Amino acid sequence: MSYTALARKWRPKRFDELTGQEHVLQALSNALATQRVHHAFLFTGTRGVGKTTIARILAKCLNCDTGMTPTPCGTCATCREIDEGRFVDLIEVDAASRTKVEDTRELLENVQYAPTRGRYKVYLIDEVHMLSNNSFNALLKTLEEPPPHVKFLLATTDPQKLPVTVLSRCLQFNLKRLPVSLIAQRMKFILDAENLGYEAPGIRLLAEAADGSMRDGLSLLDQLLAFGGGRASEEAARSMLATVDRKQVEQLVKLIGSGDTQAVLAFARSLEEWAPDYADMLDEIAGLLVQVAMKQALPTYEGDELHPESLLADLAAAIPPEDVQLHYQTVILGRRDLAWAPDPRSGFEMTLLRILAFRPVSGEGGRGVAPVGGSAGASSGVSSGSTRSATRSATSVSVASAQPAARGELGSWPETLAALELGGAARQLAAHCALIGREGALVRLALDPAQSLLKTAALVDKLSQALAKHLGENVKVEIELAQSTVDTPARAEQREVEATLSTARQSIDEDPTVRGFKERFGATVKTDSVKPN
């Protein structure tokens, strides 16, 4: 007995057997139930999402011996013949192989004649976008005013190629790509019905590889059953799809979380014997980091077949949320740049080194990224070559001038500001304020009048929360506009920057080489070019 592929054997024969596409099924069912069925339907969507299947079921609904109904019996002669592809009044046409206008005219010659057996003569034209312009013109008049006994069901993966005149004469239904979970659920149902063994992670891998297509997923399942000797295991799925071992990815992410560069690189180089696809490896790492981020954001998140909750909980506790976000971004950029690397392995290892080299840090002006083990600020100094600049940055000035206050204490305002976990516009607001005083749970600040636009309810609330977290008690910040210029951390920082620039410019003026150029050639120094790095 010949073997029937799973995609054909388990092709839905009723609307209630379809997976997904509820928005299409509801419209068609209501139209059939109320006997308000349009004469032309256009089903669009990517391959394997159910366009032709829905069209065939609709043909059964229109011609079932029990009457026009959204629930055909499936047992009458008409239903059986349609399922077997031999119903005389269902004319299926592959437009890809019949693109000429002569083919279309020949097809339409019998439109005027009544159906031989059924209630309606149904024309199912697959890949209709492949018809030529002349073929569309030949079809247009019939499509606009067909005989009452004719229905047109058109299917295409590329509706953009259809003339507007055709689109305007059809009811168009856009079929969605199927989610991974629905494809995996359907596969498990079929395997249970077939009494075949499987592992949930293996089915998940196939569902992801199907890329939204149920037919592709079932074809892959057929291939996996042949590859695995009648069993759909995770190991066989990974071997067939040439994907990396999940445990290798998990181990690598754990090592990344530990920050041990030597161990990470040693493990990465040990993967060479498996000849992995490094692009897939980076995709797997990014996918795992997404799951970890979900677990950190939603403690009740249970993961999926490939990422159990226990693993996600361990990684979520081991890697700080800000590190997870930066790691993910680094992996995505590394995946994008892999094609430009000297070779895939070098690109993969460089991506891992980037992950290990940079960590999010807090500093003046908000959160940023700094090298692991490096200094958050740059030391001050002046270069003595032809290019002169003041290398002391604003961040380093503020860090040097204001040592963080002890946690839980409200010291001077610059000291307190240096200790606050605050970034972005909220930190800018705080930097342009001066401390007036504290009255119980109320902290009063004066805002530089020149920065009045920074005072918004949202930013004041963020400042209040950061200050309450620092002090370990509930406090409220009240900000009033100062009547005159106040000495704020931002102004102090600006003064130090200007002092550094002044020192740099003076050093340049006093440089013997510069003085020689001035005296011999009448040179002048462009002091505006001296800027902080």
pLDDT of res. 512: 82
> What amino acid occupies position 183?
I
Both tokens of 297, joined, read: 């954001």
The pLDDT score that the predictor gives to residue 405 is 54
- Asked whether 87 and 78 are in contact (CB, 8 A), the reply is yes
Q: Which residues pair with 369 in a beta bridge?
A: 360
Contact 84, 209 (CB under 8 A): no
Contact 131, 104 (CB under 8 A): yes
Q: What is the pLDDT of residue 509?
A: 80
- Measured between alpha carbons, how far is 228 from 455 in angstroms, rounded to an integer? 66
Question: Taking Cα atoms as reference points, which of 175, 163, 169 lies closest to residue 55?
Answer: 175
Give, for all 533 residues of the chain, the pLDDT tens digit.
578 899 999 999 999 898 888 999 999 999 999 999 999 999 999 989 999 999 999 999 999 999 999 999 989 999 999 999 899 999 998 888 877 888 888 888 888 889 988 899 999 999 999 988 888 888 888 888 889 999 999 999 999 999 999 999 999 999 999 998 999 999 999 999 999 999 988 999 899 888 889 999 999 999 999 988 889 998 888 888 877 777 888 889 999 988 888 999 998 888 887 777 889 889 989 999 999 999 999 888 888 777 888 889 889 988 989 999 999 999 999 999 998 999 999 999 999 999 988 876 554 444 455 555 444 333 333 333 333 333 333 333 333 344 555 555 677 888 888 888 888 888 899 999 999 888 888 999 999 888 888 888 888 988 998 888 888 888 899 999 888 778 899 888 888 888 888 888 888 888 888 777 777 777 787 776 766 65
Distance CA 481, CA 171 (A): 63
Q: Which domains, from first to last, does the chain contain?
A: 6-174 (3.40.50.300), 180-241 (1.10.8.60), 246-363 (1.20.272.10)
The per-residue DSSP string of 438-486 comes to EETTEEEEEE-GGGGGG--HHHHHHHHHHHHHHHTS--EEEEEE-SS--
pLDDT at position 235 is 86
Q: What local confidence, expressed as pLDDT, does residue 349 receive?
A: 92
Helices (H), 338-456: 344-357, 394-401, 413-419, 424-431
> At CA 510, angle to CA 505 and CA 511, rounded to 5?
95
Provide the pLDDT for residue 371.
57
With beta carbons less than 8 A apart as the criterion, state whether 337 and 350 touch. no
Q: Are 314 and 288 in contact (CB under 8 A)?
A: no
State pTM to two decimals. 0.57
Please enumerate in sequence order all residues whose Cβ is within 8 A of that of 277, keeping only pairs 6 or more positions apart, or say none: 242, 243, 244, 344
